[in-house]
Amino acid sequence: MKHPGARRWLLVAMAVAVGLGWAQDRLDPYFVDILTRIAINITLAVSLNLINGHAGQFSLGHAGFMGIGAYTAAAMTLFAAPHVLPGGAGGWLLGMWFLVALMAAGGMAALSGLVVGAPSLRLKGDYLAIVTLGFGQIIAVIFRNIEPLGGALGLQGIPARTNLAWAYGAAALTVYVVTALVNSTYGRGFLATHDDEVAAESMGMNTTRYKIVAFVVGSFFAGVAGGLAGHFTLSINPRGFDFNRSIEIVVMVIVGGMGRTMGVILAAALLTLLPEALRMLSGLSPSLRWVGETRPLLYSILLISLMLLRPQGLFAWKRKGTVS
């Protein structure tokens, strides 16, 4: 992690996050909602980008890890907190506990990432996609079958702990860790694994290990994002972490450009804003009502056109000096 510049920017981003958290109450709640979702989606997309973009694997189960995080963090604040925290604990202590809950959320997700990843990352390409897709399905079924976690109805009454400071703080940290990791000497291994796995292997590299590290780190941040999401929507249920949610995150990565952190950040923001923009547009006049009703249709057309016209991603600027 020899990038003092990156670290400086991390500090700036953190300061901005804290500033945003401070300004939260002065902002329109609808925009706070959108801004928060942007931050959570950035965390999800950038962490998936480490797996799909940098390490060249293809995971279709990111929402599953997010779900594990969401349930873990919710359980920590709903069930564990009353036993651990003294009655009437103040804001400072609650905040610390939320941090612990988020770390636990990330930890559980990372652990699951290890359990799923270690055996299946030996599989190549499509097969990994299928296994991760299956993992996402299985996770939803597991949550539905655990009665204390609310079964199909899920958990309600999760306290509102996520604010803009937490959300952007986590997003900034994710961006920093992913960037620093990829740029470290160690991280060169990811790119090598991505660019030519066979060649990397014949150079004596343990590509499976790199893939697992990418998978575990990516899962960790997905779990953190899940914890944030749960304390933001205040109710969670198994259906919120299904295949469709995973696809949304994958699309952010693809639109942003695989392996392009900046592009992925912009794509996450854009794709979160887009449906709301269409919602606004349809509210302008009754003659635009159809825009709202065809939002999902427009989304799919946009996706296909993008793939046909600009498959490298909307924000994939030319990499200087890249031979392709």
Partner 1 sequence: MSQSAPPAASIFRRHFRHFLLLTAVTVLGLVGCKPSDGSGAGSGTGAIKVGEFASLTGNEAAFGRSSHQGTVLAVEEINAAGGVLGRQLELITEDNQSKQDESATAVKKLISRDKVVAVLGEVASGRSLEAAPICQQYKIPQISPSSTNPKVTQMGDYIFRVCFIDPFQGTVMAKFAQSTLKAKKVAVLTDVGAPYSVGLATFFKERFVGDGGEIVAEQKFTNTDKDFKAQLTAIKSVAPDAVFVPAYYSQVTLIVLQARELGITVPFFGGDGWEAPELLQGSGSGEALEGCYFSTHFSPDQDSPRAKEFVKSYEAKYGAKPDAMAALGYDSALLLADAIRRAGVAEPTQIRDMLAQTKDFDGVSGMMTLDADRNARKSAVIIGIRDGKFVYKETVNP
Partner 2 sequence: MSEFIQQLINGLSVGAMYALIAIGYTLVYGVLRFINFAHSDVFMVGSFTGLYAGRAFTQASWAGGVTVMLVSMLACAVLGIVIERVAYKPLRSRSKLTVLITAIGVSMLLQNVAQLVFGTNQQAFPDTLPATTFQLGKLVVSSKDLVVLGFTLCLLGGLEYIVLKTRIGTAMRAVSFNPQAAALMGIPIDRIISFTFGLGSALAAAGGFLWAYKFPRIDPFMGVAPGLTAFVAAVLGGIGNITGAALGGLMLGVIETMVKGSRWSTWTEAIAFVLLILVLLFKPAGLLGRVQAEKV
**Residues of this chain that bind partner 2 (CB under 8 A):** 58, 119-120, 122-127, 129-131, 133-135, 137-138, 140-142, 144-145, 198-199, 247, 250-251, 254, 258, 294, 296-297, 299-301, 303-304, 307-308, 311
Residue 287: which residues within 8 A CB-CB, separation 6 or more? Answer: none
- List beta partners, residue 236: 155
Q: How many residues does the chain have?
A: 324
Angle at 132 between CA 103 and CA 170, to 5 degrees: 25
Which of residues 2 and 279 has its CB atom nearest to partner 2 in the complex?
279
Is 119 a residue that touches partner 1 (CB under 8 A)?
no
Is 306 a residue that touches partner 1 (CB under 8 A)?
no
Amino acid identity, residue 189?
A: G
Residue 1 gets which letter from DSSP?
A: -
Residue with the two structure tokens 């079958």: 145
Which of residues 251 and 269 has its CB atom nearest to partner 2 in the complex?
251
How far is C-alpha 167 from the geometric centre of its chain's CA atoms? 11
DSSP string, 71-132: HHHHHIIIIIHHHHSPTT--HHHHHHHHHHHHHHHHHHHHHHHHHHHHHHTTS-THHHHHHH
Using the rule CB under 8 A, give the single segment among 3-11, 91-99, 206-214, 306-314 that binds partner 1.
3-11
Is 137 a residue that touches partner 1 (CB under 8 A)?
no
- List beta partners, residue 155: 236
| Minimum separation from the CB atom of position 293 to partner 2 (A) | 9
Contacting partner 1 within 191-230 (CB under 8 A): 191-192, 194-196, 229
Q: Which of 154, 226, 227, 256 binds partner 1 (CB under 8 A)?
A: 154
| Minimum separation from the CB atom of position 210 to partner 1 (A) | 14
Contacting partner 1 within 36-95 (CB under 8 A): 37
